[in-house]
Structure 1
Amino acid sequence: MKRFLTLGEPMVMFTAQSEGDLAEQMVFHKFVAGAETNVATGMARLGYESYFASRVGDDSLGRFIKQALVKEGIHLNFVSTDTKWPTGFQLKSHTTHGDPEVEYFREFAAFRHIPQSGLDKMLKGMDHLHATGIPLALCENTRQYGFAMMKKARAAGLTISFDPNLRPNLWPSREEMIRVTNEAAIQADWFLPGIHEGEILTGLKEPEDMADFYLQKGVRLVIIKLGSAGAFFKARDGRLGMMAGVPNVKVVDTVGAGDGFAVGAISALLEGCSELEALQRGNAIGALAVQFPGDSDGLPTRPALMDYLHTVYAKIA
């Protein structure tokens, strides 16, 4: 299996065990959260050598994150510990339908102080880098860290995927969010926006027009997530297609769906599968992700994924 690397801010998520206002909740369950940790976890469960570059505080939350990731088989060679700044966390409401309420406590977090040294060492021997727009939004240091990692990965010959993961509340302005995110997107080989993110970033409405916007700037493949409708792709050589989503999915929690899709699409492409197979695998893992309360609870092992693919797409056919 190829070596996979991603970078980002890990957080501890405290999820309420009963529905209602977060202020009234007294019992919480503890998970590891973060878009990039979800993807690293998903890739590890599929058998990849999965590496994570990050920084946590010298505290119980930092130890919890490292212990949880090690249990998933994720390599922590590039996760450093900060003795001054603590680990970030979030509180999440419990809901059986729709999007939960989430409160973040991250402005002080250790990841914002990650050093920009040692990137060449991290990338040596890696095959693929997955980046998201979240580090670009947190602060100037993490923004420069993200851009430096992508630039050095390209120089080292890695393939690069980029998921914008737009978080408007983290950015000082919509204009800066669009400008910086697009600057990063065109550094990638594979760009993976959702349909609404594509509309924000390009001002366009049609998936093919959005794809052309990035293909003309050098991206090799654009995959646009269409929610329950499935996903669309267009490649630099003009090939395009769409794959229907998984029908009749019982949604428990929508958080993590895009990360699950990324795991499916990236793993398939790294294995030489066709773009339509990548969309199919992405749809399947995204559908599994939303059927569980934790961000990564639904991410499958390879045998579980193959069984699910055979079941759901056989029904569609």
Structure 2
Amino acid sequence: MSEVNLLTFGEPLVMFASQDLNLSLTDSTHFRKLLAGAELNVAIAAKRLGIGTEYVTSVGNDLLGIYIKKSISELEIGTHYCYTDETHQSGFYFKQRVSQGDPSVYYYRNNTAAANFSQNFLEDINFTGVKALHVTGIFAATSSNNFKVIQKLLSLAKAKNIISFFDPNIRLPLWDSKELMVESLNSLAQQAEIVLPGISEGKLLTGLKKPSEIADFYLKYSNRTRLVVIKLGSKGAYFKNINGNQGYISGFQPPRVVDTVGAGDGFAAGLISGIIENLSIEQSVARACAIGALAVSSASDNGGYPTRFELERFMEKVNEN
């Protein structure tokens, strides 16, 4: 196994993306099969930057599961911990194609293989050389079992001195109630070193409005959290760490806007890569913003993520202007 710097856990999904512009999913008849899933998007974006990455999950022993594992392997992302579940199916969803705004999506992910990820699998994982762990609220929301898996992972990261990143990535339909979601996601955030909500997520989870107030909420009520980075969409991002260092990083103008899905995951990968490489917070957040801008230029959830060369060229060109 090649050196692994990043571990990310999640539910991979097969996306059937409509090719019929501005038609409803009901009326669409032409679809393209693609790989999707928030945490997998992060793995793809990180790998394109040259970060050794292992993706941990369970898939069904079905056509979609075989496609998922084959596609991940072709992307040169580690599949050593991509387990096959003989009794549960793989998840998938349909995605509308629109000329503007957010597309409609429809999920089939109830009681999937990933939702039944065995906690016993954690004993198989070799954490040697791993520098970062990335988890989200999506995987935690798929089942009570997976919520415990995330708790255990964050505990392991602390014990093994691995930097833990937590993205709330709110998917309200996956939770039994808004109250349970808020309580659960905030409890997981308190166990992570680096928390990166979107501004709307931060407002919903804390009841606060200003980025500085949201950051203080997570920094003050956790003995573990040392950095909060709040995504502000096209405006960039705000960060604050445990030492009081804070600031705004301006967003980058994307080449074009095709689809905003996956931008936050690209942002996460950029931040993770910068932290792993010991860049300053400002440099890491700027890299995150740049990848987020490039991500929206593709109709695929993860097709717009740049290579390192493409990223550096994009950032240099913006700085020149």
Matched, 1:236 2:242: yes
Separation in 1 of the partners of 2:206 and 2:65? 38
- CA drift of 1:177 comes to 0.5
- CA drift of 1:263 comes to 0.8
| Aligned counterpart for 2:16 among listed residues 14, 17, 20 | 14
Separation in 1 of the partners of 2:147 and 2:320? 43
The correspondence of residues 164-183 of structure 1 with structure 2, limited to 5 A, is 164-183=168-187
Tell me if structure 2 keeps the 8 A contact 1:246–1:313.
no
The correspondence of residues 1-317 of structure 1 with structure 2, limited to 5 A, is 3-19=5-21, 20-125=23-128, 126-216=130-220, 217-218=222-223, 219-247=225-253, 249-315=255-321
* Corresponding residue pairs, total: 315
- CA drift of 1:112 comes to 1.4
| Secondary structure of 1:48's aligned partner | coil
Partner amino acid for 2:65?
A: G
- CA drift of 1:114 comes to 1.2
Tell me if structure 1 keeps the 8 A contact 2:219–2:241.
yes
Structure 1 runs (4+) deviating above 3 angstroms are none
Compare 120-129 and 171-180 and name the one that shifted more.
120-129
Separation in 2 of the partners of 1:205 and 1:264? 25
Cα deviation digits, residues 158-203 of structure 1 (max 9, x gap): 1100100011111111111011101100111111000011101111
Name the CA shift for 1:132/1:123 in 2 (closer, same or farther; >3 Å): farther
Partner amino acid for 1:16?
A: S
Partner amino acid for 1:255?
A: V
Separation in 1 of the partners of 2:257 and 2:105? 18
- CA drift of 1:309 comes to 1.0
Tell me if structure 1 keeps the 8 A contact 2:133–2:164.
yes
| Secondary structure of 1:130's aligned partner | strand
Compare 49-58 and 242-251 and name the one that shifted more.
242-251
Separation in 1 of the partners of 2:95 and 2:87? 26
Cα deviation digits, residues 290-316 of structure 1 (max 9, x gap): 11001110011111111111112332x
Separation in 2 of the partners of 1:264 and 1:314? 21
- CA drift of 1:108 comes to 3.1
Compare 246-255 and 161-170 and name the one that shifted more.
246-255
Compare 242-251 and 211-220 and name the one that shifted more.
242-251
| Secondary structure of 1:12's aligned partner | strand
Separation in 2 of the partners of 1:249 and 1:98? 17
Separation in 1 of the partners of 2:290 and 2:201? 21
| Secondary structure of 1:118's aligned partner | helix
- CA drift of 1:67 comes to 1.2
Separation in 1 of the partners of 2:124 and 2:142? 24
Name the CA shift for 1:157/1:120 in 2 (closer, same or farther; >3 Å): farther
Tell me if structure 2 keeps the 8 A contact 1:120–1:152.
no
Tell me if structure 1 keeps the 8 A contact 2:254–2:293.
no
Separation in 2 of the partners of 1:108 and 1:190? 30
| Secondary structure of 2:80's aligned partner | strand
User: TM-score scaled to structure 1, two decimals?
Assistant: 0.97
- CA drift of 1:8 comes to 0.5
- CA drift of 1:70 comes to 0.9
Separation in 1 of the partners of 2:230 and 2:295? 18
